Structure 1
Amino acid sequence: MFNLKTVAVGVTALALTASAALAQTVIRVQSVIPAQADEVHMLQEFANDVEALTGGSVKFEILPAGAVVGVRETLDAVDSGLIEGGFAWTHYWGGKHPAANLFGAPIAGAGVGLDNIAFLSWFQYGGGKELYDRLWDEMGVNVKGFMLQPVGPEALGWFPEPIASMDDFRKLRFRAPPGMVGKAYSDIGVAAVAMGGGDILPALEKGTIDAAEWCCPKPDSVFGFQKVLKHYYLQGLHQVVVNADLYINGDVYDGLTDGEKKALEVAANASLSKAMSYRIFENGKALKDLTENHGVQLHDTPTDYFSEYMNAAQASLEAAAADNAFFAEVWQSQKDFAEIAVPFWAGAQTSNANLGKAFADSLK
């Protein structure tokens, strides 16, 4: 039986469905690394979560490094609206503001022992997020940032031969991260060279550099460093925590509904945990593969590295704090947090670290 009311309801539903489809926001995100990288895999999981939480009204299109602009122009392209989003490590933009280093890769755990979990505690509950939200205005860019992937501690890196001391290290040209982290290497006499992840293996093969760091066993193995170098040092101090972030153009973000903005926040918080969980298992599998199937040898980092690097890091932090008020404010916040949290967290981890090392040693 024909029912005009039923037809009217159906037409209204179709109209609402069509309206929702028309209202879809597509955010193109250019990464600073190749599409096959682990970080991009986790970025895609975040994008999938957002799309599910918004019922498809917000969709991300992940673009590889260089798809629209060069790696170094990524943040500027987001700021101008040339692309809607970018994905990188915020310390890449330390040239725009020194405090970017304290969010992307606080050198040597900000000098106060912040690992990735302690950093996350500061970020979510110790005032870090509020300071992070201020960073973009301090930097002068029209950007909304989301921290997605706190990783660490990173490995010292890959070497052509074993190094017994810093004197051996200083003989090598070493790929190091940009910004304050790389500068500390230069300050202790290491010939530090900054370059993108995709450029490292070709540089090693050509002999442009002799040794390198990128991150951890899984991402390192994806880039293929084990093809050239066989000596691997897990204990590094330069990036005890390093965070990969999403940047969205401020006008695009402001155009989202409150519900869509909440979906981004919820998915970002989920990503913080998922990225750490994913990396522990993936790095474990990769390290096992590297040592068992690729002839990679693990070594302990020379003890003089830690004292030399920490001294350089402390000097760099103090100089930046003296020179920039916002940097000083962020660093003071991290130090205030560390005074409360680190004595507990470092002490609590010691027993588990010792137990874990004993188990690892038993496997040799």
Structure 2
Amino acid sequence: MKTLWTGAAAAALTMAFATETLATEWNVSLWGKRRAFTEHVEKLAELLNEKTGGEFTLNISYGGLSNNRENLDGISIGAFEMAQFCAGYHPDKNPSITVLELPFLGVDSLELEREISMAVYNHPATQADLERWNARLLMPSPLPQYNVAGVGDAPRTIEDFAGLTVRATGGIGAALEAAGAVPTSMSATEVRQAMDSGVIRAASFAPHAHMSFGTIENADWWTTNLNPGAVNCPVVVNIDAYDSLSDAEREALDSSIDEALDYYIEYYNEQTMAAWGPALDERGIERVELAEEELTALRELAAAPAAQAWIEENNARGLPAQELYDLVIDTVAASKQ
């Protein structure tokens, strides 16, 4: 009897171990804390768990696996299987997707930001660009147009931006620089301290980030309609990890992307934007609306020169830069017909 029990126990343990080894767990490198910006990844984890009965799960880490500026490097070496990063953190590493960060592209909704991002992500040149880092583009993190929160005197004309030290990356930084501001690139997690210490006087963020990273806690003003653009922050997966998935796991992942993005956009529109106005009012932050003639002047200063410079620079890299730029502009135009 003892021999039979021992044999049965060993068999059960062996089966349990085999079952455990068959399960797939991916490590996911994010940063900051859970917020609107990460809700599509959280939703993706929920969907994968449901569709696979817990056999394919995401272990989401907020800063415990890597610095946000090193997430693409971590993906390239397989330090983790999935990560989020922003193109403007290292434009030389991912030049193809920086077309989405050019200023004044005319994007006016999260839905359109999603559409143009996926159009660029699906372009063969973009995919080849990211493959250099063993990265497969999975989905974007659509963001509304950025605006600036700052301390001191509020800018009311383009001339008022002269000398303003502001955290801004990519095309947003280029637009503000055209207005005379002094943009600087730093991690979102560093911005509050930089504002508190006077290193910068303002920061350009989407509303969720102004709230999440505390820039509105000491801000005096916020521009309501500058709308220079948005950063592009894809979620990517390690190609080797993706290729090693079973057919069922890959189907579960691929089929969950649209649902995760739908949830993200609904959450951002209904939760974050609903909280933004009251957050400004509670802190007595002045809403600064620039006159249309000022905005028109800034667009003329920034949009065409930034686009032309981007095209020339990335043609020299061997990218079909004009084609990628036209893809964005045509997609925006088609959405407004």
TM-score interval, smaller chain? 0.7 to 0.9
1:43-122 paired onto structure 2 within 5 Å: 43-65=41-63, 67-103=64-100, 105-109=101-105, 112-113=106-107, 115-122=109-116
Counterparts of 2:253 and 2:125, CA distance in 1: 18
Shift of 1:285: 3.1
Asked whether the 8 Å contact 2:96–2:125 carries over to 1, the reply is no
Structure 2's unaligned 5+ residue stretches are 1-10
Matched, 1:175 2:172: no
Counterparts of 1:197 and 1:264, CA distance in 2: 29
Corresponding position of 2:187: 196
Asked whether the 8 Å contact 1:91–1:100 carries over to 2, the reply is no
Asked whether the 8 Å contact 2:84–2:235 carries over to 1, the reply is yes
Corresponding position of 2:143: 151
Shift of 1:165: 0.7
> Equivalent of 2:199, from 198, 204, 208?
208
Corresponding position of 1:28: 27
- 1:69 partner SS: coil
Q: Which segments of structure 1 move beyond 6 Å, counting only runs of 4 or more?
A: 12-17
Counterparts of 1:123 and 1:71, CA distance in 2: 20
Give the superposed CA RMSD. Answer: 2.8
Asked whether the 8 Å contact 1:157–1:234 carries over to 2, the reply is no
Corresponding position of 1:254: 243
Counterparts of 1:293 and 1:181, CA distance in 2: 28
Counterparts of 2:205 and 2:330, CA distance in 1: 30
Shift of 1:195: 1.1
Matched, 1:322 2:312: yes
Corresponding position of 2:3: none
Asked whether the 8 Å contact 2:148–2:202 carries over to 1, the reply is no
Show CA shifts across 1:299-318 (max 9, x none): 21344244324532321212
Change (3 A) 1:270 1:90: farther
Asked whether the 8 Å contact 1:93–1:100 carries over to 2, the reply is no
Counterparts of 1:40 and 1:300, CA distance in 2: 29
**In the alignment, residue 326 of structure 2 is paired with which amino acid?**
Q
Counterparts of 1:120 and 1:41, CA distance in 2: 15
Corresponding position of 2:175: 184
1:219-230 paired onto structure 2 within 5 Å: 219-230=209-220
- 1:232 partner SS: strand
Asked whether the 8 Å contact 1:185–1:309 carries over to 2, the reply is no
Counterparts of 2:16 and 2:40, CA distance in 1: 30
Change (3 A) 1:146 1:129: same
Change (3 A) 1:226 1:157: closer
Counterparts of 1:42 and 1:340, CA distance in 2: 26
Asked whether the 8 Å contact 1:214–1:220 carries over to 2, the reply is yes
Counterparts of 1:266 and 1:160, CA distance in 2: 48
**In the alignment, residue 85 of structure 1 is paired with which amino acid?**
M
TM-score normalised according to structure 2 size: 0.85
Counterparts of 1:47 and 1:63, CA distance in 2: 12
Matched, 1:267 2:256: yes
Between stretches 76-85 and 325-334, larger displacement belongs to 325-334
Change (3 A) 1:208 1:129: closer
- 1:99 partner SS: helix
Corresponding position of 2:4: none
Counterparts of 2:16 and 2:297, CA distance in 1: 62
Counterparts of 1:27 and 1:96, CA distance in 2: 24
Structure 1's unaligned 5+ residue stretches are 1-11, 345-364
- How many residues are aligned here? 323
Asked whether the 8 Å contact 2:102–2:307 carries over to 1, the reply is no
